[in-house]
């Protein structure tokens, strides 16, 4: 298995397909939108490959809070259903931790819906500190 930073629209389209399978949701994302993601300096997009096949990945964003301690937010992480339970998600997060350390990031955080037992168990198994919060969305 190999983890690498994704840097082409084609790779991101492959990752979208993995996310669609893992989240059981159809995503249609335009190439120009994905190109803008690649050009976003705060974004980190990682892919996990098994024998040249993209089987998982994550999208994270660096955040600069006013208190002066950089943070990183994992917006999406998924592994192809046929490749889950093989340590791929763990390797993705470990790779992101190394990148975050190099960037001076002090904390990485991720959200999981309380009813998503698999995600909650995964983050607990990795030793994540669980903080209960209320999440509010504001439509624009």
Rounded to the nearest 5 percent, the helix, strand and coil shares of the chain are: 35, 25, 40
- Confidence (pLDDT) at 115: 86
Active-site residues, by number, are 111, 123
Per the DSSP assignment, residues forming a β-bridge with 62 are 72
Distance CA 28, CA 139 (A): 20
- Confidence (pLDDT) at 112: 87
- Confidence (pLDDT) at 114: 84
Distance CA 83, CA 138 (A): 35
Sign of the four-CA dihedral 89, 19, 23, 97: positive
- Map out the domains of the chain with their CATH numbers: 2-125 (3.40.630.30)
Q: Kindly report the pTM of this predicted structure.
A: 0.92
- Confidence (pLDDT) at 40: 97
- Confidence (pLDDT) at 57: 98
Distance CA 13, CA 90 (A): 22
Distance CA 60, CA 62 (A): 7
Q: Walk along the chain (140 residues) and give the pLDDT tens digit of each residue.
A: 999 999 999 999 999 999 999 999 999 999 999 999 999 999 999 999 999 999 999 999 999 999 889 999 999 999 999 999 999 999 999 999 999 999 999 999 999 888 888 898 999 899 988 888 887 888 89
Could you tell me where the DSSP H helices lie in 75-114? 88-102
- Confidence (pLDDT) at 136: 87
């Amino acid at each position: 298995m190999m983890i690498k930073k994704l840097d082409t629209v084609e790779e991101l389209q492959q990752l979208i397909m993995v996310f669609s399978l893992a989240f059981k949701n159809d995503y249609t994302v335009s190439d120009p939108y994905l190109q803008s993601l690649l050009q976003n300096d705060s974004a980190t997009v990682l892919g996990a490959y098994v024998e040249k096949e993209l089987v998982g990945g994550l999208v994270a964003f660096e955040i600069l809070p006013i208190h002066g301690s950089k943070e990183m937010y994992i917006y999406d992480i998924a592994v192809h259903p046929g490749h889950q339970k093989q340590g791929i998600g763990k390797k993705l997060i470990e790779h992101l931790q190394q990148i975050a350390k190099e960037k001076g990031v002090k904390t990485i955080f991720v959200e999981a819906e309380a009813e998503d037992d698999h995600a909650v168990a995964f983050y607990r198994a990795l030793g994540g500190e669980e903080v209960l919060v209320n999440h509010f969305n504001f439509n624009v």
